[in-house]
């Protein structure tokens, strides 16, 4: 039986651990149920749901916390603390109850870097089916490693919707978040007051190796769709893979709001002339306010393949230097004139970049954009009524 940390002194009475106050210690639980009306003192069963904070403190490694549908109103960050880990064979799960949508609403927070929404600092968790909105900073912040974040929506937060980064300034680079998978998730309408920080998704500044974004959609954020920024102070991050994902309309919120400080790219892949060899494949950048795919001063050897850029305001593909390898990418223009692509590196004839005219492959991509997540989590994208996910 595990004794909760708040119980500082215990004695063995009649074969049971009992706090000196006479209150039995709470054993770790394999399953906890949470609802908007749950109370901290409740058992955490379906008929007596508890609060999310209480469930996190009770759940056993490899157990499951189910959140019932409805809106949960918070004024402070909800943290899954470092050390409360699952295992490689049995992740601890925080999941929407089947068929229901829990919404974690942090609109009571002011805009501040200390006011994140859901903060995951543990390892080997699976977070599934949650919406996190209106946080004063990031909607979801992942500081732990080997986690799966699936079918989440992060929206209307006042910094990047979902961001990976170190837990604190004292966290050594060997412990930066690594091997996290962000899958079948959506991030939109995130906006900071300065207009240059709130992206859809970010793995930047202080992240380790093996982080993957797959089947994700980022749209209508005030800054970039994806941000993999590096800076001299902290050095290189680990290579990131972004695959089978969609980035559109970034730089303009759904309601038409823009900010002149926003970078407005679909996929921003670097910073401060630091080389990182990211993998960017099978992605689409459509109608973003600046570039579709941009090296952003990353001079590394990125693998850029099977991507489609359509009608981004400046370049669909913008790589001014480096040794990146480009294969089977397609660039099209229909309603936005923009500029010719620039792809310094290894680009062979399998690519169709834009240089004033569209090539033959672009005929498949004319028309309105549409997208959805299939039941198996895959991203299905249509353009002009045709499936265009490359």
Structure confidence by residue, pLDDT tens digits, 56-108 = 999 999 999 999 999 999 999 999 999 999 999 999 999 999 999 999 999 99
Residue 183 has pLDDT above 50, yes or no: yes
pLDDT range class, residue 363, cuts 50, 70, 90 = confident
Residues assigned a catalytic role:
268
Going along the chain from its start, the domains and CATH numbers come out as: 36-387 (2.160.20.10)
Task: With a cut of 90, say whether residue 3 has pLDDT above it.
Answer: no
258-276 mean pLDDT: 98
Res. 365 pLDDT band, cuts 50 70 90 = confident
Give me the mean pLDDT over the 97-123 stretch: 98
Please give the Cα distance from 68 to 44 (Å, whole number): 12
SS3 label, residue 60: strand
CA torsion sign for 248, 278, 131, 114 is negative
Please state, in angstroms and as integers, the Cα–Cα distance from residue 78 to each residue in 49, 112, 195, 243, 258, following that order: 17, 15, 25, 29, 30
pLDDT at 385: 84
Q: Which residues contact 136 (CB under 8 A, 6 or more apart)?
A: 106, 109, 110, 111, 112, 114, 115, 116, 157, 158
User: How much of the chain exceeds pLDDT 70, in percent?
Assistant: 93
Residue 385 token pair: 């009524």
Selected residue with higher pLDDT from 8 and 268? 268
The residue-averaged pLDDT of 135-155 equals: 98
pLDDT value for 388:
78
> Residue 257 pLDDT > 50, yes or no?
yes
Q: How confident is the model at residue 5 (pLDDT cuts 50, 70, 90)?
A: very low
Mean pLDDT, rounded, for 113-132: 98
**What is the average pLDDT score of the chain?**
93
Q: pLDDT tens digits, residue range 289-303? A: 999 999 999 999 999
- pLDDT of residue 20 exceeding 50, the answer is no
Work out the pLDDT band at 390, boundaries 50, 70, 90.
Answer: low
Of the pLDDT bands very low, low, confident and very high (cuts 50, 70, 90), residue 1 is: very low
Q: How far apart are CA 8 and CA 61, in angstroms?
A: 22
Residue 43: pLDDT over 60: yes
Please say whether the dihedral angle defined by the alpha carbons of residues 12, 16, 22 and 26, taken in this order, is positive or negative: positive
Is 90 exceeded by the pLDDT of residue 19?
Answer: no
Residues 117, 105: Cα–Cα separation, whole Å: 8
Residue 306 phi/psi, 5° resolution?
60, 35
């Amino acid at each position: 039986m595990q004794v909760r940390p708040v119980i500082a002194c215990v004695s063995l009475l009649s074969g049971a651990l009992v706090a000196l106050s006479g209150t039995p210690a709470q054993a770790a639980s394999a399953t906890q149920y949470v609802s908007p009306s749950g109370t901290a003192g409740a058992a955490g069963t379906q008929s007596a749901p508890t609060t999310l904070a209480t469930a996190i403190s009770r759940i056993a490694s490899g157990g499951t916390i189910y959140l019932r549908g409805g809106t949960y109103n918070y004024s402070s960050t909800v943290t899954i603390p470092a050390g409360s880990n699952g295992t490689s064979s049995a992740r601890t799960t925080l999941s929407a109850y089947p068929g229901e949508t829990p919404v974690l609403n942090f609109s009571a927070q002011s805009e501040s870097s200390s006011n994140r929404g859901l903060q995951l600092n543990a390892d080997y968790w699976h977070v599934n089916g949650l919406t996190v909105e209106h946080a004063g900073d990031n909607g979801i912040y992942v500081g732990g490693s080997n986690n799966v974040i699936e079918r989440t929506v992060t929206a209307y937060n006042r910094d990047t919707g979902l961001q990976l980064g170190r837990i604190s300034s004292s966290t050594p680079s060997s412990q930066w978040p690594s091997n996290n998978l962000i899958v079948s998730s959506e991030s939109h309408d995130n906006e900071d007051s300065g207009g240059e920080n709130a992206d859809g998704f970010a793995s930047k500044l202080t992240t380790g190796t093996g982080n993957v974004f797959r089947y994700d959609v980022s749209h209508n954020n005030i800054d970039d769709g994806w941000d993999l920024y590096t800076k001299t102070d902290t050095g290189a991050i680990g290579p990131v893979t972004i695959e089978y994902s969609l980035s559109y309309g970034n730089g303009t919120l759904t309601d038409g709001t823009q900010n002149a400080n926003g970078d407005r790219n679909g996929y921003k892949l670097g910073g401060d002339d630091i080389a990182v060899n990211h993998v960017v494949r099978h992605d689409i950048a459509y109608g973003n306010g600046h570039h579709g795919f941009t090296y952003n001063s990353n001079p590394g050897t990125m693998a850029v393949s099977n991507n489609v850029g359509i009608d981004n305001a400046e370049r669909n593909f913008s790589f001014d230097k480096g040794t990146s390898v480009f294969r089977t990418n397609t660039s099209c223009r229909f309603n936005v004139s923009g500029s010719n692509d620039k792809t310094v590196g290894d680009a062979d004839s399998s690519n169709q970049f834009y240089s004033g005219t569209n090539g033959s492959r672009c005929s498949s991509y004319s028309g309105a954009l549409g997208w959805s997540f299939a039941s198996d989590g895959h991203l299905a994208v249509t353009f002009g009524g045709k499936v265009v996910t490359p």
